Amino acid sequence: MTIRVLVWNEGWHEQVDASVQAIYPDGIHGAIASGLTALLGDDVQVRTATLADPEHGLTEESLDATDVLLWWGHMKHADVTDEVVERVHQHVLGGMGLLVLHSGHYSKIFKALMGTTCGLSWRNEGEKEIVWTIDPTHPIAEGVEQPFVIEAQEMYGEHFDVPPPDELVFASWFAGGELFRSGMTFRRGRGKVFYFSPGDQEYPVYHHPQVHRVLANAVRWAEPVRGERVPREAPNQPRTWS
């Protein structure tokens, strides 16, 4: 069955930063969407949406038609309305997959799902990042080079204040001496969440073939295993079984 993917991007840097426009003429969301389509072909149907769209493009109808949502945000986290965040949250708990990318670590939706500050250390000096696979059995690591190199990147460093992940898939080395758990999974309700840190508006990371491979694998992994989208409630359960 075709996986219905929605790539969400706040889309602000693309409007105001010439350097970002040069790297991502079709937007960060466009680059990600292209990568997914190139690798997954007819197995996916990829749409995009941005902050500027009505209800940020995240209406009930839009989310109902989404199996896996990718989230990129940075400057405009605060401008995402609480109502939309709550709606996305309910869809994740009901089963929608969610891939949170790079500076999305500080998005409202990721903080709501984690329950922690999601803080980290950072430094933007174009350092080399080397991404190592920690879990070679994981489907998200399938076919990914061990390791792969991103020549210039923003540094994200530990301690990354998230709950202990269900699975640690990737970890990254940075030239300046830091390291970071760069690929982690978190099950929340019926939904699967994957956080992946490589990716920044100032570097062409979303054109990197290994990053495309990771995101394509993650889309397949996060696809809901059940069609229903009903977050768990607290039903009174009559005695039935014994």
By CB under 8 A, the residues from 98 to 137 that bind a copy of itself are: 106, 112-117, 119-123, 125, 128, 130, 132-137
Which residues inside 165-224 make contact with a copy of itself, applying CB under 8 A? 166-168, 171-179, 181, 186-192
d(CA 152, CA 174): 10
Given the rule CB under 8 A, which of 16-24, 66-74, 164-172, 202-210 is the region that contacts a copy of itself? 164-172
* Sites for a copy of itself among residues 50-109 (CB under 8 A): 93, 95, 106
Asked if residues 211 and 198 have their Cβ atoms less than 8 Å apart, the reply is yes
Among 17, 147, 220, 229, binds a copy of itself (CB under 8 A): 147
Q: How many residues bind a copy of itself (CB under 8 A)?
A: 71
Q: Which helix (H) or strand (E) holds 171?
A: strand 167-174
Q: Does 145 bind a copy of itself (CB under 8 A)?
A: no
- Binding segment for a copy of itself (CB under 8 A), chosen from 38-46, 60-68, 156-164, 200-208, is 156-164
Instruction: Report the nearest approach of a copy of itself to the CB of residue 52 (Å).
Output: 26
Q: Which one of 37, 157, 204, 220 is in contact with a copy of itself (CB under 8 A)?
A: 157
Tokens for 121, please give them. Answer: 């250390």
When asked if residue 14 is in the footprint of a copy of itself (CB under 8 A), the reply is no
Nearer to a copy of itself, 132 or 204 (CB): 132
What letter represents residue 58's amino acid? L
241 sits near a copy of itself (criterion: CB under 8 A) = yes
Encode burial over 28-40: b for 16+ CB neighbours within 10 A, e otherwise.
Answer: bbbbbbbbbbebb
Do residues 162 and 130 touch, judged by C-beta distance below 8 A?
no
Report the distance separating Cα 47 and Cα 32, nearest Å: 11
* Nearer CB in complex with a copy of itself: 135/202: 135
As a whole number of angstroms, the distance between CA 174 and CA 220 comes to 28
Tell me how far, at minimum, the Cβ of 163 lies from a copy of itself, in Å: 6
Q: What b/e readout covers 212-226, taking b as 16+ CB neighbours within 10 angstroms?
A: bbbbbbbbbbbbbee
Nearer to a copy of itself, 143 or 209 (CB): 143
Q: Which is nearer to a copy of itself, 54 or 238 (CB)?
A: 238
Rg of the chain, C-alpha, whole Å? 18
Shorter beta-carbon distance to a copy of itself: residue 25 or 209: 209
In three-state secondary structure terms, 215 is helix
- Residue 73 has what DSSP assignment? -
